[in-house]
């Protein structure tokens, strides 16, 4: 299984997919023959799926890879099974999951990626690699029939993880929200993936790309900071 799970698509002051572009290119080129990816644009809400495909396609064109939108397929499951690689974009995670589940591709993606087809996701697309989407930051603007996602990894990711508690803000911090999740789900780790950072899983090993540590949460334990180059294998234990 090969996964590239990106916290965010765009850093401040940069163009769309600028910082992760080289990592996506290297990740796909390692397969040697990928010329087209199947893109899941269902997280788009305020713009069309076609517009999302075009936006991502412009960036992927820079390294010679065509982007094909799954929403245009008459048989989404067959499209997943034929895909050279699967890419899932960010946006609203609840909208993404609802459309994914209604299209019937959950098991097909799980099987396809489990058998070695590369998977790239950013933001909501990274949440979709987890057992559930319950550690998303998004509002539930629509209601999927379940919170269960692709379950490619056994731990949860919180993309865009922030340490900040803005002055004058009386609500919960991101850490407090995650602490609520692990209290309700004591057997599961949550990895707070800060912006500009990427999880890479290949050759049976999880590694971190980026210059910020991951903040890891588990019920009954103090949060820990894990840096690039350190061992993330414990995230695959319960």
Q: How do strand 214-217 and strand 190-194 relate by DSSP bridges?
A: antiparallel
100 burial (CB, 10 Å; 0-12 / 13-18 / 19+) is buried
**Which member of 54, 160, 165, 207 is catalytic?**
160
Annotated catalytic residue 138: yes
Annotated catalytic residue 75: no
Annotated catalytic residue 23: no
How distant, in Å, are the alpha carbons of 117, 124, 151, 217 from that of 135?
A: 25, 10, 13, 12
Which position has the token pair 């539930």? 140
Strand order in the sheet with 190-194: 156-161, 190-194, 214-217, 224-226
**Which member of 7, 9, 103, 123 is catalytic?**
123
Radius of gyration of the chain (CA): 17
Type and span of the H or E element at 161: strand 156-161
d(CA 126, CA 7): 7
d(CA 144, CA 100): 9
- Catalytic positions: 123, 138, 160
């Amino acid at each position: 299984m090969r996964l590239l799970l990106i916290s965010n698509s765009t850093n401040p002051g940069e163009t769309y997919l600028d910082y992760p572009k080289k990592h996506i290119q290297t990740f796909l080129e390692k397969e040697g023959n990928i010329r087209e990816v199947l893109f899941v644009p269902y997280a788009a809400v305020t713009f069309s799926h076609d517009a999302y495909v075009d936006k991502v396609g412009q960036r992927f064109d820079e390294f010679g890879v065509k982007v094909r939108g799954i929403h245009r397929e008459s048989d989404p499951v067959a499209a997943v099974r034929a895909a050279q690689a699967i890419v899932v974009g960010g946006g609203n995670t609840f909208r993404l999951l609802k459309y994914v589940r209604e299209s019937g591709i959950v098991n097909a993606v799980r099987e396809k990626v489990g058998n070695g087809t590369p998977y790239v996701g950013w933001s909501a697309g990274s949440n979709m690699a987890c057992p559930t989407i319950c550690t998303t930051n998004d509002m539930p603007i629509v209601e999927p029939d379940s919170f269960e996602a692709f379950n490619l990894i056994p731990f949860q990711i919180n993309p865009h993880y922030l340490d900040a508690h803005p002055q004058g803000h009386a609500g919960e911090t991101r850490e407090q929200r995650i602490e609520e999740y692990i209290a309700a789900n004591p057997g599961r780790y949550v990895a707070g993936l800060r912006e500009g950072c990427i999880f890479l899983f290949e050759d049976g090993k999880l590694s971190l790309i980026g210059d910020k540590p991951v903040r890891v949460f588990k019920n009954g334990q103090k949060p820990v900071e894990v840096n690039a180059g350190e061992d993330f294998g414990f995230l695959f234990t319960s």
